[in-house]
Chain A
Amino acid sequence: MPATYNAIATTTLTATAASISFTSITSSYTDLVVVVKAKSAGNNTTFGLKFNGDTGSNYGSGYMGGQNGSTLTTFNSGTSASFNAQSQSSEFAPNVIHILNYANTNMQKLMFSEVNQPNGYTLQYCAIWSNTSAITTIDVGNFDSAGNHWVTGTSVTIYGIAKA
């Protein structure tokens, strides 16, 4: 991995909220890492990332994993880059998402993460935002149709990674 990690911004919820937003993200790094430690008020375990306010069906997501002897896999299109690991239990399940070449205007934006969920599965996630614009805004949220919120204490931190 690149040589330097710098924390760009961090937010920890002091009240329930549907999402956490980061704006005016600098283009001075090569990659971004988004660390999400989340817990949902509902029974959903997925959350999403939306970039530059794009709410269209311009995202693709997939995963491969295992759960107690079974394999898990899917690829879907959607209105956010979908990831997993928010918890409804006592833990704030972590997810570390790498967003590659986020300011490169020649590439659609690809991201991946590896998840070990406390209640019993491991997943390798990948997602793409079908847009070549530089990412300047990220909304990380609980975008499920049931309208569930993240609970107090949920936190998201964005790190910038610079190539040496």
Chain B
Amino acid sequence: MALTWVAIATTTLTSTAATISFTSIPATYTDLYLFISARNNQGGSGQYIRYNSTTSGYTQVRLITDGSTVTSPANTFTTENFMLAMDSRANANGFGVAMAYITDYQGANNKFTLQSSTNPDNGTDYNFIEVDAAGWNNTSAITTITLIPETNAFATNSTATLYGIKNTV
């Protein structure tokens, strides 16, 4: 396991935004960890994560529940990976949480990510829990990460922090 965690950058929205981006990600770490508290401002229970602005090569195995059944739907996301965010129709001021652990992000292999996200609410139908094995079939080093809301824009006060992880003493 990694021994050091360093916050590379953090963003808290002071107004709605069409994307949250981390650019010029340094190549000095072993892995990356992305932590997001997000809400869509116009419907939508999800968000997308895209690397280096590339829109191909994405794969994802999903395990998801709505509280009634647990399913593993066929993946339809090939231009980016998908995670949950809070739906704007859920109770006000609720924000979903999403985590992505990106391994070997600067290596010359395809990229693998463990994703976990949820958007619990109280008394509405916009509750989900999702766990994913996600991948980006691309051998380029990741230098840019872009988060894209499922619909329209991220709501004000959505936050995202990118951590770098070193496995050296």
- A and B held together in a complex: yes
A164 near B7 (CB under 8 angstroms)?
yes
* Binary interface encoding of chain B residues 39-52 relative to chain A, with 1 for a CB under 8 A from any of its CBs, else 0: 00000000000000
Give the number of chain A interface residues (Cβ < 8 Å): 33
* Binary interface encoding of chain A residues 1-26 relative to chain B, with 1 for a CB under 8 A from any of its CBs, else 0: 11100000000000000000000000
Q: Give the interface segment out of B15-23, B105-113, B121-129, B144-152.
A: B121-129
B116 at interface, CB cutoff 8 A: yes
* Binary interface encoding of chain B residues 91-107 relative to chain A, with 1 for a CB under 8 A from any of its CBs, else 0: 10111110000000000
B67 near A73 (CB under 8 angstroms)?
yes
Report the separation of the CA atoms of residues A107 and B90 in the bound assembly, to the nearest whole angstrom: 13
The prevalent SS among residues of A at the interface is strand
Residues on A with beta carbons closer than 8 Å to the beta carbon of B69? 71, 73
Residue in A104, A110, A124, A164 whose Cβ sees the most chain B Cβ within 10 Å: A110
Given contacts A64-B63, A75-B127, A110-B96, contact A58 B161 (CB under 8 A): no
Residue in B68, B122, B161 whose Cβ sees the most chain A Cβ within 10 Å: B122
A108 near B65 (CB under 8 angstroms)?
no
A35 at interface, CB cutoff 8 A: no
B59 at interface, CB cutoff 8 A: no
Report the separation of the CA atoms of residues A82 and B53 in the bound assembly, to the nearest whole angstrom: 40
Q: Which residue of A lies closest to B64 (CB)?
A: A64
Residues on A with beta carbons closer than 8 Å to the beta carbon of B97? 100, 110, 112, 126
B70 near A71 (CB under 8 angstroms)?
yes
Give the number of chain B interface residues (Cβ < 8 Å): 34
* Binary interface encoding of chain B residues 57-96 relative to chain A, with 1 for a CB under 8 A from any of its CBs, else 0: 0000001111111100000000000000000000101111
* Binary interface encoding of chain B residues 4-42 relative to chain A, with 1 for a CB under 8 A from any of its CBs, else 0: 011100100000000000000000000001010100000
CB distance from B51 to the nearest CB of A (A): 21
Report the separation of the CA atoms of residues A132 and B93 in the bound assembly, to the nearest whole angstrom: 7
Residues on B with beta carbons closer than 8 Å to the beta carbon of A51? none
Cβ 8 A contact of A110, one of B6, B37, B67? B37
Residues on B with beta carbons closer than 8 Å to the beta carbon of A62? 65, 67, 118, 120, 127, 129
Give 24 CB contacts A-B under 8 Å.
A2-B7, A2-B163, A3-B6, A3-B7, A58-B122, A60-B123, A61-B120, A62-B67, A62-B120, A64-B131, A73-B70, A74-B67, A75-B120, A75-B127, A107-B94, A107-B157, A108-B95, A110-B97, A112-B116, A124-B116, A124-B129, A124-B131, A126-B118, A128-B120
